[in-house]
Amino acid sequence: MKTIFKHIKGDKTIWALVAILAIFSFMPVYSASTNLVYVVGSGSTIGHLAKHVALLIIGFGIIYGVHKVPYRYFSGGSVIMIPIVIVLLIFTMAQGTLIGGANASRWIRIGGIGFQTSTLAGLVLMIYVARYLAKNKEVEINFKESLWQLWLPVSLILILILPANFSTTAIIFTMVLIVVFIGGYPSKFIGVILGVGIIVLFFFISIVKIFPDSMPNRVQTWQSRIENSPLFQADGAKEPYQVEKANIAIATGGVLGLGPGKSIQKNFLPQSSSDFIYAIIVEEYGLVGGLGIIFIYFLLLFRFFVVVKKTNTVFGKLLVVAVGLPIIFQASMNMAVATNILPVTGQTLPLISSGGTSIWMTCFAIGIILSVSASKEKTEEEILDDNPLDILHEAID
Rounded to whole angstroms, how far apart are CA atoms 112 and 200? 36
pLDDT of residue 246: 87
pLDDT of residue 56: 95
pLDDT of residue 124: 97
SS3 state of residue 114 = strand
Residues 6+ apart with CB under 8 A from 306: 11
Q: Identify the bridge partners of residue 104 per DSSP, sorted by sequence position.
A: 97
pLDDT of residue 97: 52
What are the DSSP calls for 241-270, one per residue? Answer: HHHHHHHHHHHHHTTT-S-TT--SGGGT-T
Rounded to whole angstroms, how far apart are CA atoms 25 and 30? 8
Amino acid at 36: L
pTM for the whole structure = 0.87
Handedness of CA 222, 350, 159, 180 (dihedral sign): positive
pLDDT of residue 232: 47
pLDDT in tens, 298-333: 999 999 999 999 999 999 999 999 999 999 999 999
Residues (pLDDT < 50) of the chain are 98-104, 231-232, 234-237, 391-397
